[in-house]
């Protein structure tokens, strides 16, 4: 497992050191170094969705609405850059100062809690998150981009770091104490922190329970409409079965909660 992680992390090392690297796993050509605070997610194909069943599935006791992480299917994505950490309170404060957008409701008198400056921002809805990304010249990740990035180059792993069950040294989960500072836990093979636990993350896509059975095989963008937006990654309030790389969640776009934040991506030029 360690060798697989080192191999996946090679793309990150090359980007960080400025050594020429390729945009795709098959070597289609050089790309610019990643922008500050972002890492390269190389082009390539991966298996999206849960690749195994559970006892609940076999007995028919698991509700159909919670079997939406299948069928597992092959997806090919173009290369892109992704923020190495979730957007922090401090970064979001800069955004509010520049745009005058509303503050998260836990900011008393609209002022950022200084002790949370390095913590992921939360209590932001989907439009808040999308607007921040646009302000930075970025966008929200598609669900497929998020899952490929979270896997860190490990094709069928259950968690961003592999198949080992989470611990207090690998993720922030199953706690009443809220998120911790970004980047506290080790990065996955692509150099991404906190892709499991801490705060769940908004994705671009609308939710449709059966979408995986009809998803395009290349650069899927999600359904064209819906009632809910996709949320991935699980949060500090979730147990280990909800912080896996394939677990899906969905909420109304207007939802603002203490366990939901975001990070941004940027297209290759």
For residue range 5-19, list pLDDT tens digits in order: 333 443 333 333 333
| Token output for 197 | 């636990």
Q: Is residue 110 part of a domain?
A: no
What is the Cα–Cα distance from 123 to 115, expressed in whole angstroms?
Answer: 16
Q: Is residue 93 part of a domain?
A: no
Domain count across the chain: 1
Q: Is residue 42 part of a domain?
A: yes
Q: Is residue 229 part of a domain?
A: yes
Q: Is residue 94 part of a domain?
A: no
What is the Cα–Cα distance from 211 to 231, expressed in whole angstroms?
Answer: 15
Q: Is residue 233 part of a domain?
A: yes
Quote helix, strand, coil % in the chain, to nearest 5: 25, 20, 55
Higher-scoring residue by pLDDT: 126, 66: 126
Vertex 90 angle, CA 115 and 145, to 5°: 120
pLDDT at 141 over 70: yes
pLDDT bracket for residue 22 (50, 70, 90): very low
Higher-scoring residue by pLDDT: 183, 69: 183
Mean pLDDT of the 140-149 span: 98
- The whole-number pLDDT of residue 58 equals 56
- The whole-number pLDDT of residue 21 equals 40
| Token output for 12 | 């990150």
Q: Which range marks the domain in which residue 51 is found?
A: 2-88+115-267
Q: Is residue 26 part of a domain?
A: yes
The CATH number of residue 74's host domain is 3.90.1580.10
Q: Is residue 76 part of a domain?
A: yes
């Amino acid at each position: 497992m360690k060798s697989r992680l080192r191999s996946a992390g090679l793309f990150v090392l090359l980007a960080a050191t400025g050594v020429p690297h390729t945009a795709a796993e098959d070597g289609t050509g050089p790309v610019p170094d990643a922008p500050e605070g972002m890492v390269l997610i190389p082009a390539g194909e991966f298996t999206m969705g849960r690749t195994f069943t559970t006892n609940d599935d076999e007995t028919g006791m698991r509700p159909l609405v919670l079997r939406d992480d299948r069928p597992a299917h092959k997806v090919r994505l173009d290369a892109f850059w992704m923020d190495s950490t979730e957007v922090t309170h401090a970064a979001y404060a800069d955004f509010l100062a520049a745009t005058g957008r509303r503050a998260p409701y836990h900011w008393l008198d609209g002022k950022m809690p200084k002790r949370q400056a390095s913590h992921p921002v939360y209590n932001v809805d989907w439009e808040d998150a999308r607007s921040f990304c646009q302000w930075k010249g970025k966008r929200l990740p598609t669900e497929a981009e998020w899952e490929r990035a979270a896997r860190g180059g490990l094709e069928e792993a259950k968690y961003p770091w592999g198949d080992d069950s989470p611990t207090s040294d690998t993720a922030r989960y199953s706690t009443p104490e809220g998120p911790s500072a970004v980047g506290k836990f080790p990065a996955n093979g692509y150099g991404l922190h906190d892709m499991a636990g801490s705060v769940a993350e908004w994705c671009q896509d609308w939710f449709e329970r059966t979408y995986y059975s009809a998803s395009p095989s290349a650069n899927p963008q999600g359904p064209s409409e819906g009632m809910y937006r996709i949320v991935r990654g699980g949060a500090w309030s979730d147990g280990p079965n909800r912080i896996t790389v394939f677990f899906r969640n969905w909420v109304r776009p207007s939802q603002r909660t203490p366990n939901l934040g975001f990070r941004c991506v940027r297209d290759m030029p």
